[in-house]
Amino acid sequence: MLVEVLRLAAQVILRNPMRSFLTVLGIVIGVAAVIAMLTVGKGSTQQVKSDVAKLGNNLLILRPGQGGGPGATAGSAPSLSARDVAAITEQVPSVEIAAPLSSSSMTVVYGNQNHHTTITGTDNRYLQAADWQIAEGRDFYDGELRAGSAVCIIGATVRSQLFGAADPIGATIRFKQVACKVIGLLAAKGASSFGSDQDELVLMPLKAFQRRIAGNQNISTIFISIRDGASTDTAKADIERLMRERRHIGPGEDDDFSVFDLKQIASMLTGISTVLTGLLSAVAAVSLLVGGIGIMNIMLVSVTERTREIGIRLAIGATEGQVLVQFLVEAVVLSLAGGLIGIVVGLALGLTGARVLHVPISPDPLVVLMAFGFSAAVGVVFGYFPARRAARLDPIEALRHQ
């Protein structure tokens, strides 16, 4: 009997394929939205989480100026100096490494290849603190750092843009009148949780950067790693106290520098992506509701159109329950078909989105199953009323219906 009912439902639905498709469009959109959202959302949440884990030892970033995240400008606040780096290293016991950074973005040229990237002046401490591995070549020699030699270590993206598959070690790249010898290649890290490509960088000795590019002794960022087991919050407070002292900020005055905890930012981003996923899922739920109402509407039309058919079925001995089941199954098959199309479309969208946003792809079978369950539920809930109306028809009046 159920096979029969399913066959009949499929027959009725396929008899008018265009109308059936339009009927389930709401469900298709709703389910596709949920699946796409959760695929991308979950992927990006996972990305952030694995980034947080990858950050390893706790990291702090010290910048001049107030507010903003990484990338905010210093404004009018006085810059940092090498003496600040030394003071932090020496006076805050929980600090393991403090590395100076100074950056500028510009076009790098090799042969006839151009590439716009970020040039950062720093030293080997940064490689250590940020856990950069050298894939090929070497890090900076002390002599090169002291002399400010024109040598550089490039990130994987810069390498592929300028050199393709060729060996970059020993080659000379140019930026802003500086001819710089490539001595090392960094192992790729991929996209960061902030969405930027971490391998998009060129490192050179801080001194070389200050003299040849910036033309000053400024340091724009101090990158700090905290000893294992030490509290990041305590370290942050210690550094803030030290910096207030060094920068002569009186009690009650606002800091003119900021210390960011990378882990905090990362977990905040996780929170944001969770909230976004929740919001978008709510939107999707509304469209499922609208889809359900669409199905109910068409099922009611269908019951009216098929009143005579229902009368015939009742006359030859169909019970109320059998007619109810027939129409309910029809609604459920419709909404499940919509759900299936939605799952396929949603996965396709999600996977495309994940690729565009550089987040790992993670189609969740549970989500797919839930989407399936939800579309079935929409069919049952919104199909019930029309089905009951069909089942309760008076056989004589139904037979008389034109």
Binding site for another protein (CB under 8 A): 1, 4, 15, 308-309, 311-322, 395-396, 399
Q: With contact defined as beta carbons under 8 Å apart, do 296 and 386 qualify?
A: yes
Instruction: Give buried/exposed letters for 283-302 (b at 16+ CB in 10 A, else e).
Output: ebeebbeebbebbbebbeeb
Nearer to another protein, 18 or 316 (CB): 316
| Between 381 and 399, CB nearer to another protein | 399
Kindly state the smallest distance separating residue 332's Cβ from another protein, in Å. 19
Please, is 80 exposed, middle or buried when counting C-beta atoms within 10 Å of its C-beta (0-12, 13-18, 19+)?
buried
Burial classification of residue 33, based on how many CB atoms lie within 10 Å of its CB (0-12 exposed, 13-18 middle, 19 or more buried): buried
Q: Which is nearer to another protein, 27 or 393 (CB)?
A: 393
What Cα–Cα distance (Å) separates residue 76 from each residue in 10, 66, 79, 286, 300? 71, 10, 9, 48, 69
Q: How far is the CB of 291 from another protein (least distance, A)?
A: 27
The nearest distance, CB 325 to another protein, in angstroms, is: 11
User: For the chain, how far is it from start to end, CA to CA, in angstroms?
Assistant: 29
Strand positions, DSSP E, 35-133 = 59-64, 95-110, 113-122
Cα-atom radius of gyration of the chain, to the nearest Å?
32
For the CB of residue 304, give the shortest distance to another protein in the complex, in Å: 15
Nearer to another protein, 7 or 116 (CB): 7
CA–CA separation, 204 and 240 (whole Å): 28
**320-356 vs 2-15: helix axis angle to the nearest 10?**
60
Q: How far apart are CA 31 and CA 395, in angstroms?
A: 38
Crossing angle (nearest 10°) for helices 232-246 and 82-91:
130
8 A C-beta contact, residue 297 and residue 382:
no
- Closest CB to another protein among 245 and 394? 394
For the CB of residue 386, give the shortest distance to another protein in the complex, in Å.
19
**CA 186/CA 132 separation, integer angstroms:** 7
Least distance in Å: CB of 397 to another protein?
10
Residue type, 186: L
Task: Pick between residue 246 and residue 388 the one whose CB is nearest to another protein.
Answer: 388
CB of 311 to another protein, least distance (A): 8
Shortest spacing between CB 394 and another protein, in angstroms: 8
Judged by CB, which is closer to another protein: 235, or 314?
A: 314
Give 292 or 311: the residue with its C-beta nearer to another protein.
Answer: 311
Min CB(297)–another protein separation in Å: 23
Per DSSP (E only), the strands in 138-210 are 151-154, 172-175, 178-186, 201-205
Would you give the DSSP letter of residue 187? P
In terms of CB distance, is 85 or 325 closer to another protein? 325
